[in-house]
Amino acid sequence: MKPSLVLQPLWGARWTLAALAAGLTALMLAATASYSSFGGAEMLAQFISRMPRGIHTLAGGENLLTAAGYFSMMFVHPLALIFKGGAAIALVTRLAQDVETHAADLLLSRPVTRVELALARYLAALAGLTTVIGCGALAFLIGRSRMPAVQELAAMHVLAAFGYDLLLWTAIASAGFFATCLASARGRAVSWAVGFAALSYLLNVVGQLWAPMEPARRASVFYYFRPATALAGSSPPAAHLALLAGVAAAGLVLGLLAFRRRDIA
């Protein structure tokens, strides 16, 4: 595979990626810097006891009294979701844009296979996502080094949590990749990818708030994402990791198969 097939979309999206990475960096710096201003576990306990259940659920539903629980909230903070989702979807849907604008015609009328092209676009999306999440991890570690209260979280555990986060967003990006391999317009691919991420998120939230919907949470990729476990130094359940990896692999394979067989029109 020619490296330029991977690098070209990354170069094209460099300003978008830079903005998303800067956003996540700022959020993580702000989160670590403001931790002690909440007044520690005692103040948090009082605050959380008055917090409505819905707000607690939106914050990730973890035990916020611990540093791991508190910071796990940052992984599903609405801004973090926007930054990471933006990175995942902006790049992974470039392939549909290539088809829509007929740029794919120029690429595929060269000795480039469809699988090569699609795989290159997928790898570019993963590289972009890794960059954004990596910047978030780096910012968190910088914040941690400056705030003693955050240092109760081991650096390795922080990195493991961000790795876990990367796995979740890879799974979402792969679902988006499958959508983009079927779509002939970027707008449609974005709609399907955002729809998948949003539906998955809502299913998880509604399942926590409303008992009859609780079993449906298992259909959400967010159900299998427990960053507090990783931040606390425990290994996330292997089944959860396997399921996220499975969704990622399935999205990739189904996408490649679909793109190989479809009409480029």
Q: Given the rule CB under 8 A, which residues bind other proteins?
A: 2, 4-5, 8, 12, 98, 101-113, 261, 263-265
How many Cβ atoms from other residues are within 10 Å of residue 26's Cβ? Answer: 15
User: Identity (one letter) of the amino acid at 217?
Assistant: R
Enter the DSSP assignment of 35: T
The nearer residue to other proteins, 11 or 210, going by C-beta atoms, is: 11
Nearest distance in Å: CB 3, other proteins: 9
Q: Cα separation of 134 and 128, whole Å?
A: 10
Measured CA distances, 113 to 7, 108, 152 (Å): 17, 7, 50
Nearest distance in Å: CB 262, other proteins: 8
- Cα of 210 vs its chain's centroid, Å: 25
How many Cβ atoms from other residues are within 10 Å of residue 256's Cβ? Answer: 19
The nearer residue to other proteins, 217 or 262, going by C-beta atoms, is: 262
The nearer residue to other proteins, 59 or 92, going by C-beta atoms, is: 92
Nearest distance in Å: CB 8, other proteins: 6
Nearest distance in Å: CB 213, other proteins: 38
The nearer residue to other proteins, 69 or 255, going by C-beta atoms, is: 255
Measured CA distances, 22 to 16, 121, 136, 139 (Å): 10, 23, 8, 10
Nearest distance in Å: CB 5, other proteins: 7
The nearer residue to other proteins, 100 or 206, going by C-beta atoms, is: 100
Q: Cα separation of 121 and 40, whole Å?
A: 45
Token readout for 85 is 């989702």
